[in-house]
Structure 1
Amino acid sequence: MDLVKRIVEVIKKCLNLNLDNYQFEGMWTLKKINQYISDGIEENIHLDYKGAASLDKKGEKKKEISKDVSAFTNSDGGVIIYGVKEYDEAEKRHLPEKIDAVNGNEFSKEWLEQIINSNISPRITGIKITPVQTSKPEANQVVFVVEIPKGTTAHQASDKRYYKRFNFESIPMDDWEIKDIINRQNRTDIKIDFVPRIPKEFLKRRLESGIEFNINFEVRAFNKGTLISKYLDIFIYGDQDTAKYFSSHPLQTPDYQVHFSNEEKREIEVGDNKFVIGTDRLPILPNVIRSIGHIELSSLFIIEDCSFKIQVSTEDGTYMKKVTRSDLVR
C-alpha cells in the first residue's frame, strides 16, 4: 500500500489533481471510520468496537485482548476497532457513538502486536494493525484497526481457553467445536458475497433519496480455503415479506428459493437451435473468486432493512447465513 501511495503522489504532482479525499478499497482512514459511525454500522460476527479503556497494561485487559482476538480467528475472522465507543443505552448497545481515541504515546502499535502475539497460542499469521491518527500527528491520538484472518487451526487465549464469536460476544467453545476448527485445513471454505454493479458512493446517494429503483448484485464465490472446491450449490431463501422485492427471478409466495452453482452447461448448435448435452462442474481453486450469477433487488429491500437466508453447500458440508443490509451495502 505504501507503493500505491507513492504512485498517487506522483500522479497528483504531474496532473495537479486533488486526491486527498480519495479512499482506496480496504484502506483504513479517519474518513472511513467516521463513515461507520455516521452510518450506524452495527457490531456483528465480523466487527467489534472497543473504547480506549479496553487497552490497559493491567493483566485483566491483556486477557480480554487475547480472548477477543482469538475468538475472531477461531470464527470467521473480522475487525476489532480500538478507539470507537459504543452507546451506553441498552437499545443502542452495539452501535458506534463516537471516536474515543487511544493515547498512542502510551499504547503503540508495537505494544498491541506484542500483547496479541505473546498471549495467543499458536501465533496468528496474517494479522494486520493499522493506526489511524484522529488529530494532529504530534498529539498521537489514534484508533487501532485490527484485521484478523480466519485461522486454519484453533487458537488458545492466555487463560488456556478457546473462544468463538457469538451474538456480539466472545464465548468459550465446546470440545467438538475446537476439533472441528483444527480440521479446517482438510475442508473447503467458500464465502459468498453480493457485490452491487454500481459504484458504492453512487448507490448510497440513491438510497438516501428514498426513490425506488432496482439494484443488480453479482453473486461471487470466494474460495478462502486451501482445497479445491469441486461442488458448490447456493440456495437463497426468503418469504412473502421479501419476495416482492426480487425483480430478477420469478418468485412464489409465501416462500421462495433461488439456486446458483458452479455448473456450466455444455451446448451444441444445430442450425438455428441450441441443445444442452450436459453440464460440467468448474472447480474453484484456493484464493480464487468466481462469479456464479446475479440477483436484482428493489432498493426498498435495503431501505426497509429486509433480509434473506442463504444455504451454501460443498462436498464437505453445508452452512446457513443471514444476509442483511450491511452485507449488501458496505
Structure 2
Amino acid sequence: MWTLDKIKKYIEDGVEENIHLDYKGAGSLAKSTEKKKEISKDVSAFANSDGGTIIYGVKEFDDLDKNHIPEKIDPINGKDFSKERLEQIINSTISPTIQNIRITPIQTGDKEHNLVIYVVEIPKSNTAHQMNDKRYYKRYNFQSIAMEDWEIKDIINRLARTQVKLSFEYNPSIITEHTKTITISIWVHNIGSKVIKYLDCIVYGDPCAAENISKPFCDNFSPVDIHFSNLIVNKVTIDNNTFETNSYREVILPNIKCKIGHLEIKKEFVKEDNKLTFQISTEDNVEYIPFNGKEIY
C-alpha cells in the first residue's frame, strides 16, 4: 500500500530508479500534447516490459551522477491535473487498453490546496500495447525506447507461455536494532493462464552479495550461485539415518503463488544495496529478473 510515509522513506533511502520504478516531477503532468505523449509512452513501456510503478510528484537530482535518485517531493496541483485526467490520457492514447492499472492519489499537505502525488502501478501485460504514434515502447536503462519487430511478436506470444512474477516476504515484527540477519521468503506467482509443472530458480550475484548472505551458504570469495525449485523431496528417518523416499514437482496453478525457498541476509545486504539476478526457468520460458537489496527488503 502506497502512503506518503512510504514515499518519504524511498527518498530518504535514495531508492534508485530501475526497470520497475520511475520518478517524475510535477512538470511531467501537463496539458500539452508533448507531455501527453510522454505519459502514454512511459506507461505502455512498463506494460510491454515487466510491469512497474511510476511516481508522479517526486523530483530526481539534477546532478548527472545522481539523476536517477529521488531528491524531494515535487507535488502536482490536483485541481489542475486530476486523477481522472491522467486515467483519460492513458486509456485514450494506448491500444489496446491496459487492464488493471491502479492510480493512487496521495495528499502531501492540507486538502484545501490539493497538492498530490500520483502513484501509477502498471501490471505486466499479456499482449503488446501500441501508442497512438503507431509505435511500441519498452523499458530499458531508465528510459522508454521503441521496440524491434521481433520483440513485439515475442510479447504478443506471451499468452502461449507460462508467466511468473517474484515477490519477497519477511516478518518486520521480529526485526530490532540488534537484529543481525533477516530471513526473506521467496515466492513465485503464476500470473499466466497455463499450469507450471517445472520451475527452477537460479540466483546469481557478485562476491560482495555473497558475503552478505548467511543462508544458503555462499563462499565469500565466489559469486552467488543458489538454486531453488518446485521440487518436493520426501524424507524418512530410521535409526538416526535419513533417506529420500520419493520426490515430485509441485504443480503451480494459474493465479496461485508458491514459496520456493528463503534467503537469510545480513543487514549490510540492504545497506550496501547488493544486487541479485533471478533466472526463472519453466518448461517453455526463461526470464532474468534483477533486484537490488532495497527492492528485496
TM range (shorter): over 0.9
- 2:198 equivalent to 1:231: yes
Secondary structure of 1:225 counterpart: coil
Give the root-mean-square deviation of aligned CA atoms: 2.0
Identify unmatched segments of 5+ residues in structure 1: 1-25
- 2:284 equivalent to 1:310: no
> Contact 1:67–1:158 at 8 Å: present in 2 too?
no
Secondary structure of 1:57 counterpart: coil
> Contact 2:198–2:251 at 8 Å: present in 1 too?
yes
For residues 246 and 142 of structure 1, the distance between their equivalents in structure 2, rounded to whole angstroms, comes to 39
Q: Percent identity?
A: 52
For residues 292 and 121 of structure 1, the distance between their equivalents in structure 2, rounded to whole angstroms, comes to 36
For residues 60 and 239 of structure 1, the distance between their equivalents in structure 2, rounded to whole angstroms, comes to 41
> Residue 149 of structure 2 is aligned with which of 152, 157, 175?
175
For residues 325 and 270 of structure 1, the distance between their equivalents in structure 2, rounded to whole angstroms, comes to 42
Secondary structure of 1:180 counterpart: helix
Residues 1:95 and 1:216: Cα distance change in structure 2 (over 3 Å): same
1:88 corresponds to: 62
For residues 291 and 317 of structure 1, the distance between their equivalents in structure 2, rounded to whole angstroms, comes to 19
For residues 65 and 121 of structure 1, the distance between their equivalents in structure 2, rounded to whole angstroms, comes to 14
Secondary structure of 2:131 counterpart: coil
- 2:188 equivalent to 1:221: yes
2:11 corresponds to: 37
Q: What do the CA deviations read for 1:123-182 (whole angstroms, capped 9, x no partner)?
A: 111111111121211211111111111111000112110000011100001111101111
For residues 240 and 38 of structure 2, the distance between their equivalents in structure 1, rounded to whole angstroms, comes to 67
Residues 1:192 and 1:29: Cα distance change in structure 2 (over 3 Å): closer
Residues 1:309 and 1:79: Cα distance change in structure 2 (over 3 Å): closer
> Contact 1:212–1:300 at 8 Å: present in 2 too?
no
Greater strand proportion? 2
- 2:181 equivalent to 1:250: no
User: CA offset at residue 256 of structure 1?
Assistant: 4.4
> Contact 2:209–2:224 at 8 Å: present in 1 too?
no
User: CA offset at residue 213 of structure 1?
Assistant: 1.3
For residues 86 and 288 of structure 1, the distance between their equivalents in structure 2, rounded to whole angstroms, comes to 37
Q: What do the CA deviations read for 1:192-233 (whole angstroms, capped 9, x no partner)?
A: 23323434xx74x63xxxx77122111211112221111000
For residues 69 and 205 of structure 2, the distance between their equivalents in structure 1, rounded to whole angstroms, comes to 27
Q: Could you tell me which amino acid in structure 2 is paired with residue 85 of structure 1?
A: K
TM-score between both structures, scaled by the size of structure 2: 0.92
The structure with the larger Rg is: 1
1:131 corresponds to: 105
Residues 1:31 and 1:269: Cα distance change in structure 2 (over 3 Å): closer
- 2:264 equivalent to 1:296: yes
Secondary structure of 2:47 counterpart: helix
